[in-house]
Amino acid sequence: MNGIVDEPEDFITLTEDKLLADEVSALVISPSCGAVSLFIGTTRNNFDGKKVKHLEYEAYAPMAKVEIKKICTNIRLKWPSVRHIAIHHRLGTVPISEASVIVAISSPHRAESLEAVQYGINALKATVPIWKKEVYEEEYSWKENKECFWAKTIK
């Protein structure tokens, strides 16, 4: 639990440590909420017919955290009943089947938390300066985030 006083909190983390869904979801549990929704993005073992060995993520952490905070602010404006928000993104090497990103949100009812989680992951992919490199068995490739608005402007 987040303490006796259940004031809304945002938990933003960029880390090279393994992300654990139980730990992230525990951050957002609230006695005033009946819903906790999570999105967990994991490393898959293939892309476009190629065997993926692992992913590598890099970020400009100060800017990334500012952009994630903006996402939290926007979530609270769109869904005022949201209590707690956790957005954790892994940096460095992420092996197959491990989590790269976890978005967890609590609210009194499921609709708000589910909608807010979807918005959160979509906004993160579109606006936060985190770069992904897919390392294949024979080669590697930096991946363009097709959802990212700023990547479209520099072409």
Q: What is the CATH number of the domain that holds 74?
A: 3.90.1170.40
Chain segment 23-47, per-residue pLDDT in tens: 999 999 999 999 999 999 999 999 9
Q: Is the pLDDT of residue 106 over 80?
A: yes
The CA R_g of the chain, rounded to the nearest whole Å, is: 16
Tell me what pLDDT residue 5 has. 58
Least confident of 13-27, 62-76, 132-146: 132-146
DSSP assignment of 19-54 equals P-HHHHHHHH--TT-SEEEEEEEE--SEETTEEEEE
Could you tell me the pTM of the whole model?
0.87
Residue 3 inside a domain? The answer is no
The answer to the question of residue 1 being in a domain is no
Q: What pLDDT was estimated at residue 33?
A: 97
CA distance 39 to 42: 10
CB atoms < 10 A from the CB of 16, how many? 10
Q: How many folded domains does the chain comprise?
A: 1
Q: What does the block give as tokens for 2?
A: 């987040």
110 within some domain: yes
Confidence of residue 1 (pLDDT cuts 50, 70, 90): very low
- Domain membership flag for residue 2: no
- Assess contact for 72 and 104: CB atoms under 8 A: no
Instruction: Measure the CA–CA gap between 55 and 44, rounded to whole angstroms.
Output: 9
